[in-house]
Amino acid sequence: MEKMIITGAGLCGTMLAIRLAQKGYEVELYERRPDLRKQVLDAGRSINLALSDRGLHALDMVGLRDVVQPLMIPMYGRMIHAQNGETWLSRYSGREQDFINSISRPGLNKILLDKADTYPNIRTFFRHQCTGVALKEKEIFFLNRETGEDAIASGDMLFGTDGAGSAVRKSMMGSSTQLSFEYKQEFLSHGYKELTIPAGPSGEWQLDKNALHIWPRQEFMLIALPNLDGSFTVTLFLSFDGHTSFSVLNTSEEVEAFFKAQFPDACALMPNLAGEFFEHPTPTLGTIRCFPWSAYGNALLLGDAAHAVVPFYGQGMNCALEDIVELDKDIDKYPGDWEQICHSFENRRKPQADAIADLALANYYEMRDHVDDENFILKRKIEMELEKRYPDYHSKYSLVTFKEEIPYDLAKRQGDRQDAFLLEYVKGISGISDVKIDALHEELMALS
């Protein structure tokens, strides 16, 4: 039986271990951290995520969708919070059945790890930190963080699913024979801070639990996603430097005053705002693009290790899980030929990863600057109407989020054409009643 070594037991690596075990391979899964099922979690790491159709499709593939279902809270749209306290819901789609789901990251990771434990052909090693890879020799080196000892694993294939800071990727970059490794890392000027709106006195949600809440303020924004225990995880996206930035929020009074002025309704629901603000880290946000993702046909990067994106389309995890669905197709297509599997996978998948990276960056500006802009709101209203009436119309957001059968790059191309057309169109009308919907639909369809 061929032996597969996976580095990183996050969402992507654990899902990969399960799928390879289901296909009959022997799998060793190594993770730097302790077993999260036995740990109190780090404060301030992204606690919940938006799970949508691409991720759900991957969970279906490994037989976990029903197990994950009770953890999900449907979110039907963005609840926009204006500075004066006014709120309105901008739905994600004109179709009732299209929504995204808030899910606990550790909750989902636990389900995947529990499932991995049910396969006798998966062995999981926690507290094993990858320190380097001998690519040609198919060996991977670990530091056992419990004993301080070094360990070596060798296998027929090595997978790097060790996230944005991937040690496996660094070894590929440093490999003297891998001369043409392209690597680009772009950071936003903004970082983020995770905070909490706790449950109300009876354990109730203090905001509408079926929405992703946004407080867009041009240069910065706050968002909140619901958790099952009645709380919301709140994330502030703010510049590190400048007039309004993390650098000027240095005391409890400054933090309280900033939140009171900018997000008064949220601030009123955050009794431990300043405490959390100073306890929690302020991570950076970046995009990582690299290529190739494989070396010698015996090592392959997947998930954030290959293509980390900024979180503004809610697709990083969905894309990482979709990687497994796509790899699975290549494993079936080229049985046992790992060189061919790796090339086919990376060549098909790279343009898709680049597309979602670009979409996520563009959505950062859209969420921050435009969601409360009049033309943007009218455009969204028209798109809702089009989606309600015509089964063949899908907005760019819907193409990316709800149409997992359409690759990201095609979704982006089609969506960009539609957006450009509609943004011009709304300039020539004064409201939704001016729209000749059948004619507009025809014009949009002609763009495909």
- Measured from the CB atom, the residue of 52 and 414 that comes closer to ligand FAD is 52
CA 319 centroid distance within chain: 7
Q: Which two tokens stand for residue 100?
A: 């995204």
Whose tokens are 């404060």? That residue is 43
- Measured from the CB atom, the residue of 130 and 327 that comes closer to ligand FAD is 130
- Measured from the CB atom, the residue of 249 and 324 that comes closer to ligand FAD is 324
In angstroms, give the least distance from the CB of 239 to ligand FAD.
16
Burial of 423 (0-12, 13-18, 19+ CB in 10 A): middle
- Measured from the CB atom, the residue of 226 and 379 that comes closer to ligand FAD is 226
Question: What is the C-alpha separation between 265 and 216, in angstroms, rounded?
Answer: 13
How crowded is residue 244: how many other Cβ atoms within 10 Å of its Cβ?
15
Question: What is the C-alpha separation between 356 and 284, in angstroms, rounded?
Answer: 19
Amino acid at 45: R
- Measured from the CB atom, the residue of 122 and 444 that comes closer to ligand FAD is 122
In angstroms, give the least distance from the CB of 100 to ligand FAD.
8
In angstroms, give the least distance from the CB of 389 to ligand FAD.
30
| Angle in degrees, 0-180, between the axes of helices 316-333 and 338-365, rounded to the nearest 10 | 160
In angstroms, give the least distance from the CB of 178 to ligand FAD.
19
In angstroms, give the least distance from the CB of 60 to ligand FAD.
16
Q: What is the 3-state secondary structure (H, E, C) of 252-271?
A: HHHHHHHHHHHCHHHHCCCC
Contact footprint for ligand FAD (CB under 6 A): 7-13, 30-33, 46, 49-50, 129-130, 161-163, 167, 192, 235, 303-304, 311, 314-318, 320
- Measured from the CB atom, the residue of 316 and 415 that comes closer to ligand FAD is 316
Question: What is the C-alpha separation between 283 and 287, in angstroms, rounded?
Answer: 13
Partners of 222 in beta bridges: 215, 236
- What is the DSSP pairing of strand 26-30 with strand 122-125? parallel
- Measured from the CB atom, the residue of 44 and 198 that comes closer to ligand FAD is 44
In angstroms, give the least distance from the CB of 411 to ligand FAD.
15
In angstroms, give the least distance from the CB of 253 to ligand FAD.
27
